């Protein structure tokens, strides 16, 4: 009786040209960009791949990129979840970094601006810092999921207020934490030749992957982002899921703040994490994730974040001055954004199809002649 012998649709999928499948794979783009940057470096900076050990630390351009990208990578992970679940962005991540770092710095320093003595256990301070991040995330999450405020507007509040709140609780001062133990997180744990930032960011990447893969959170986040109405009807609580994504984003931003402040040994509310929100959004986009929410790829976002740092480091390696850096960066970003746009991709697909059909029609002509 049934009816499916003809009109089968999916057979088409398999016969899609390879180039189209490659174009539609979300990871392709970010990998290609990263490869371009790497190849560029092979040509212009021969020392790029050199690795040496100085002062008991593995160093070189690549370890450097991994080190300096670590804050961005950690923030980008949270941003990925927020964008996927809400189709909006969290622009307060930089400010949350400062809040978290101030919380823990204050706990360690007591009431002193500059001290070598820890007033509280280091672990406790780290925990409180993360807690501060979580609170900020919960505040954002409440505004977005409870009050249905647009994510960008909701997070604008902490974006504006976060740094000055942090400054208030640190008595309007940059606080310096001189105890060498403080630098363990951001520089090096004695005896380990790898920068701690690289270790920490790797661990956090693994944790987030586990969180989204071992629990069904990843699936829920995507479901809510793709179709909130369907999600509700299959029994998902979109509100709680959205809220959780913002909390996770806050905790991760907090972690990035702790790493960042540890690597410089101080909490400076005017410098820590400035502008990182935009880089994180860009990293998510570079990773092939749609900014309107839905499906996400952690791998893509991570590659995106490292790509951004690689571009920066490459430009430095090419002796671009710090004050010129942003001009170059902007130029590269324009290229990347244009190349990743649907319109551009569509044009390329059309072009390949044209080339393909030209071959066919040439064959046809030949047939006619005979």
Partner 1 sequence: MNIMNTEPNSPALIMTGIGKSFPGVRALNNVDFKLRHGEIHALMGENGAGKSTLVKVLTGVYSMDEGSVKLDGKPVGIRSPQDAQKYGISTVYQEVNLCPNITVAGNLFLGREPRTMGLIDWRQMNRKAAELLQELNISADPTAQLDSYSIAIQQMIAIARAVNTECKFLILDEPTSSLDTDEVEKLFSLMRQLKGNGVGIIFITHFLEQVYEICDRITVLRNGELVGEYEVENLPRLELVTKMMGKEIENLSNLNIDRDESKFEGEVPIIEARDLSSGASKVAPFDLKMYKGEVVGFGGLLGSGRSELVRTIYGADKAVQGQLFIKGKSAKIRNPLDAMKKGMAYLPEDRKVDGIFADLSVRENIIIALQAKRGTFKRLTRKEMEKYADEYIALLNIKTASIETPMKSLSGGNQQKVILARWLLTNPEFMILDEPTRGIDVGTKTEIQKLILKLAGEGKSVAFISSEMDEMLRTCSRMVIMRDQYKVGELTDSDLNQNTIMRTIAGGEEGR
What is the C-alpha to C-alpha distance for residues 119 and 270, in angstroms, rounded to an integer?
25
- The structure tokens listed for 101 are 């770092």
Across the chain, which distance is largest between two alpha carbons, in Å?
94
Phi, psi for 176 (deg, rounded to 5): -110, 125
Minimal distance in Å, beta carbon 333 to partner 1? 26
Of the pair 232, 329, the CB lying nearest partner 1 is at: 232
Rounded to a whole number of angstroms, the minimum distance from the CB of residue 204 to partner 1 is 20
Instruction: Give the nearest distance from C-beta 299 to partner 1 in angstroms.
Output: 17
Query: Is residue 58 within 8 Å of 51, Cβ to Cβ?
Result: yes
**Of 236 and 247, which CB lies nearer to partner 1 in the complex structure?**
236
The burial of 290, by beta-carbon neighbours within 10 Å (0-12 exposed, 13-18 middle, 19 or more buried), is given as: middle
Within a 13 Å sphere around the CA of 241, how many CA atoms are in the beta-carbon half? 24
SS3 115: strand
164/343 Cα distance (integer angstroms): 42
* Spatial strand order in the sheet of 266-267: 114-115, 175-177, 266-267
Residue 12 or 369 having the CB closest to partner 1: 12
Least spacing, CB of residue 25 vs partner 1, in Å: 12
CB of 149 to partner 1, least distance (A): 17
List residues binding partner 1 (CB under 8 A).
1-4, 7-11, 13-14, 214-217, 219-220, 222-223, 226-227, 229-237, 294-295
Nearest approach, Cβ of 180 to partner 1 (angstroms)? 40
Angle formed by the axes of helices 276-286 and 322-340, to 10°? 30
Contact present, 254 and 75 (Cβ < 8 Å):
no
Indicate the residue among 217 and 280 with the shorter CB distance to partner 1: 217
> Closest approach of Cβ 259 to partner 1, in Å?
28
Q: CA nearest 30: which of 301, 370, 341?
A: 301
Closest separation between CB of residue 11 and partner 1, Å? 7
Q: Is-contact 328 314, C-beta < 8 A?
A: no
> How far is residue 334's CA from residue 336's CA, in Å, rounded to a whole number?
5
**Contact between residue 293 and residue 242 where contact means Cβ atoms under 8 Å apart:** no
């Amino acid at each position: 009786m049934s009816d499916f012998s003809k009109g089968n649709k999916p057979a088409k999928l398999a016969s899609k040209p390879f180039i189209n499948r490659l174009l539609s794979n979300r990871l392709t783009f970010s990998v290609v960009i990263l490869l371009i940057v790497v190849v560029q470096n092979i040509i212009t900076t021969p020392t790029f791949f050199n690795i040496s050990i100085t002062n008991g630390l593995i160093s070189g351009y690549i370890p450097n990129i991994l080190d300096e990208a670590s804050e961005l990578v950690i923030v980008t992970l949270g941003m990925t979840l927020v964008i996927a679940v809400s189709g909006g962005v969290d622009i307060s991540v930089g400010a949350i970094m400062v809040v978290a770092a101030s919380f823990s710095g204050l706990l360690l320093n007591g009431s002193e601006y500059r001290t070598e003595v820890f007033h509280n256990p280091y672990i406790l301070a780290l925990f409180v810092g993360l807690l501060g991040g979580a609170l900020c995330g919960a505040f954002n999450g409440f505004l977005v999921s409870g009050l249905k405020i647009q994510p960008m507007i909701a997070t604008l509040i902490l974006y504006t207020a976060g740094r000055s709140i942090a400054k208030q609780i640190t008595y309007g001062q940059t606080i310096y934490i001189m105890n060498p133990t403080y630098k363990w997180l951001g520089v090096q744990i004695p005896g380990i030749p790898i920068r701690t930032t690289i270790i920490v960011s790797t661990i956090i990447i693994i944790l987030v992957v586990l969180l989204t893969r071992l629990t069904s959170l990843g699936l829920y986040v995507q479901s809510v982002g793709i179709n909130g109405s369907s999600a509700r009807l299959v029994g998902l609580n979109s509100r709680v899921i959205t809220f959780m994504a913002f909390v996770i984003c806050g905790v991760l931003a907090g972690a990035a703040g702790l790493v960042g402040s540890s690597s410089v040994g101080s909490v400076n509310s005017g410098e820590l994490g400035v502008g990182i929100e935009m880089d994180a959004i860009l990293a998510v986009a570079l990773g092939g994730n749609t900014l309107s929410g839905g499906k996400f790829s952690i791998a893509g976002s991570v590659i995106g974040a490292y790509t951004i740092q690689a571009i920066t480091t490459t430009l430095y390696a090419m002796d671009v001055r710090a004050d010129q850096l942003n001009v170059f960066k902007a130029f590269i970003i324009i290229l990347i954004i244009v190349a990743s746009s649907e319109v551009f991709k569509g044009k390329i697909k059309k072009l390949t199809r044209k080339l393909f059909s030209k071959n066919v029609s040439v064959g046809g002509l030949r047939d006619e002649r005979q």
